[in-house]
Structure 1
């Protein structure tokens, strides 16, 4: 495809967005009904602000969902320390809740506007960011074009690109070059991602490692941890976290297979807590006794499954066990971040479909902190082995902690790469305080 045809294709994308714009309101209303949008904040999706813009330098940081948000929080805290205001956008209700819990009013949170000309123009015109830093794997053409038109530097951090996305962009190299060439800087997670970004037209590109290695373990209410540990008593436990549809059934199979021998408690933490009713119904149909965190149910000797159907409490659930199966890897694809489990002293198990975290898992497996399983039967055997073999379990946990130490350092590399963009803003902020007239 020639450069001219590529420009026409991007123009077609923008026109299609404008034509579909009238359908956005009913679509968002439907999503709000399903619990996937905050009804009272829907207008933020159209670029309308719900907070005043502070005076002084402001960086727009975008993190698509929970994983990306967790990854950029240490970077955001460093930027705040440099007296730069942060506008943080996210795309999901769960990530918005996480921002409230972890950052409170330290940042301005908004839902990311639709990638359509009118919302994006309205959003950028109001907030006037001095730079835009994104931690998301997707490229949004209209947003990229509007930021470039205003000469606002666009930076990707913790950048990755999946096998599928790379293949798709590679099949349209002219379009890719027009979009990726507008990025001022890409800080990639690993050498493979860095090379892919270069192939698609991005420059300069540096490699930092995974920012998630520099995050803090998820917090918890220690009193709640102690209360549940007292209820669990001497029972063995294991957890299936960040599960997608089909993986809760796998956890139920494991529980039923092991219960006659181990009398264990199984903890299930679905990636989408709003599926709690559906999951509980399925578990009860299998004859299992369920205690739900959202109801405040106590764990008794008869409880088979503790269902962690709440947002932002992974720190609680992982502190109740030292064996963690990380989902979206057995019946779904892509994988989920295993580092939280490793940080909190868990031996990690995962299915084979971890394309989005390939290098992280590769490092953990090489170190001995994680083990990949092929199917549900193999998961049951691995859980039983780890629950009954303290030496093997402790060795995996210790190896995982060593692997975490190896992964640290991405934050300092990222901040070093950002210096040409953030240092002038820090100087500006200190020369003209935010409350100046």
Structure 2
């Protein structure tokens, strides 16, 4: 098939080369997914969605498809759905990649919204997925943009955008090695909205022309969901006037600091409770073993989707991933609930977010356990939480131009 008049020869070669490679790999993909299921990386109930075997039917009417990779990214899409659902009667299909994102997001789906796991980016699966769902508009988010899907959607005349784009130096360097491929994909998008100027510069260097900087979606996301009955039960059993602080989305290095800080805090507040919510719940037993010496003064959560519950019960929050090479997790989730955020020195993946919260007084960086314990004991947490919530509201308002642009595209195409 020769290149169409709408694309250059270089882009055509990129498209055909990528399709040929992913077609060659297709026979190996079911076995690859079965291995992931065996290791607990994918759900035994839903893994076939990644082969474009849908688990639900398409609703009748216009359909807007949104995609993000993982838990934090897909939860941020709730802000887009909440805003757009006020101005359109369209349905929403949200896809993601990780098991955790699917399990948490489906606990409380927004109205008129379905969720599927994104199929692997091979032509057979791509075409089967698009044939079934027939979206009217495609919204890619953050770092997730799959060339095969982009090329096929473009060939069908589907408008596509990339929003909440984020790309650090490391990600940029890896994509620059296949710049020809990403240039071809980015050229098929109607517009790109970046979280920050660094990302915008990287995207322009990769070939994207229409890039605006609108900030992060995360401050505008609705508060994390929770079960009211469970909240009342836990508050009655555990809270009882005691000081509770939460380590959210934790990793090993964060837990080491938090446990040492809690041991120090117990010297002056012997009834204080530390709640640790591991980023990966399958680590809960290991975390509980590490915390055993502190007895009932530490509670370790072992389920998905519990941060909404624990942040509401917390007097203070420390964000996980900020003492490890993970480089941070979303600080706006506790901020939206009026909780100030303590964090370590490693937050490169959310640098603009932590900087904004620090500037408004809603977040504070700590370097070691004793410092953290002293700050927790200071009880200046209510003011800090109010500033964090106010900052989130202000940042959410900055996204109105992006939402207006999406509404215009919907009016044009849906």
Fold equivalence (TM over 0.5): yes
- 1:31-430 aligned within 5 A: 31-81=36-86, 82-103=88-109, 106-230=112-236, 231-263=238-270, 264-284=272-292, 287-289=293-295, 303-374=296-367, 378=368, 380-390=369-379, 392-426=380-414
Distance 2:294 2:370 in 1: 20
Query: In the alignment, is the contact (CA less than 8 A) between 2:49 and 2:118 conserved in 1?
Result: yes
Q: CA RMSD in A?
A: 2.4
| 1:50–1:172 Cα change, 3 Å | closer
Distance 2:225 2:132 in 1: 34
Q: Which residue of 2 aligns with 1:23?
A: 28
1:246 aligned counterpart, secondary structure: helix
Q: How many residues align?
A: 404
Query: In the alignment, is the contact (CA less than 8 A) between 2:167 and 2:198 conserved in 1?
Result: no
Query: In the alignment, is the contact (CA less than 8 A) between 1:214 and 1:410 conserved in 2?
Result: no
2:314 aligned counterpart, secondary structure: coil
Q: Which moved more, 1:47-56 or 1:111-120?
A: 47-56
| 1:105–1:27 Cα change, 3 Å | farther
Distance 1:83 1:232 in 2: 42
Distance 1:105 1:401 in 2: 25
| 1:326–1:13 Cα change, 3 Å | same
TM-superposition CA deviations, 1:369-399 (whole Å, max 9, x none): 111233xxx2x22332233212x33332232
Gaps of 5+ in 2: 1-7
Distance 2:159 2:10 in 1: 26
Distance 1:394 1:60 in 2: 39
Query: In the alignment, is the contact (CA less than 8 A) between 1:35 and 1:274 conserved in 2?
Result: no
| 1:388–1:50 Cα change, 3 Å | closer
TM-superposition CA deviations, 1:161-195 (whole Å, max 9, x none): 12211222345543432222222111222333233
After TM superposition, give the deviation of residue 275 of structure 1 in Å.
1.9
After TM superposition, give the deviation of residue 339 of structure 1 in Å.
0.8
Distance 1:148 1:312 in 2: 35
TM-superposition CA deviations, 1:67-113 (whole Å, max 9, x none): 12221113223434411122211212322233322226722221100
Distance 1:250 1:29 in 2: 37
Q: TM-score, normalised by structure 2?
A: 0.89
1:178 aligned counterpart, secondary structure: helix
After TM superposition, give the deviation of residue 269 of structure 1 in Å.
0.5
2:222 aligned counterpart, secondary structure: coil
Q: Which moved more, 1:102-111 or 1:360-369?
A: 102-111
1:408 aligned counterpart, secondary structure: helix
After TM superposition, give the deviation of residue 355 of structure 1 in Å.
1.8
| 1:234–1:86 Cα change, 3 Å | closer
Q: Which residue of 2 aligns with 1:429?
A: none
| 1:5–1:345 Cα change, 3 Å | same
